[in-house]
Amino acid sequence: MKIVLLLVPLAMVLALYAVYIKLSARLLRRSKVSWKNSFLFALVLILLAFAGRAGSLALGQSLPLLPGLIFGLTAQVILGGWFFSTRGTDAAGQPLGWRGGIQLSVLAFLLMAVTGFVLFGVVHVLSPAQL
């Protein structure tokens, strides 16, 4: 039962990121991405995050916060550009290409970052109330 409770946040992050990819495509108004590809990209990012964390634990050290964020954003943007260049389409039904894929992944990252900041702020505000 405990493992199921541990998988709930992971499933929520996977679903939220897939929704943000679809929302990003809608906000760009000229791109379309299937749910399957949205979930697949989110899963790939989660697996890469796990691999990065496992690597840092195996080496006994990790990147400092700012370089880690820059590296993570860069990796996500490059991967998103490649992934959605052929799997996403524009309004005319043509593949998005690298530029469209990069725009899509940057917007999805920004939406996820805003969500993270809001959740961090809510937890920070509510945590003194528990004392």
- Structural element, H or E, at residue 101: helix 97-126
Query: Is residue 131 pLDDT above 60, yes or no?
Result: no
Distance from C-alpha of 4 to C-alpha of 14, rounded to nearest angstrom? 15
pTM of this structure: 0.84
Model pLDDT, residue 130: 61
Report pLDDT digits (tens) over 27-79.
988 788 999 999 999 999 999 989 988 988 888 888 888 998 898 899 999 99
Cα dihedral sign, 93-38-120-131: positive
Report pLDDT digits (tens) over 81-129.
999 999 998 888 889 899 999 999 999 999 999 999 998 888 888 887 6
Distance from C-alpha of 131 to C-alpha of 126, rounded to nearest angstrom? 10
Distance from C-alpha of 56 to C-alpha of 46, rounded to nearest angstrom? 15
Q: At what angle do helices 65-87 and 97-126 cross, to 10 degrees?
A: 140
Domain segments of the chain as ranges: 2-130
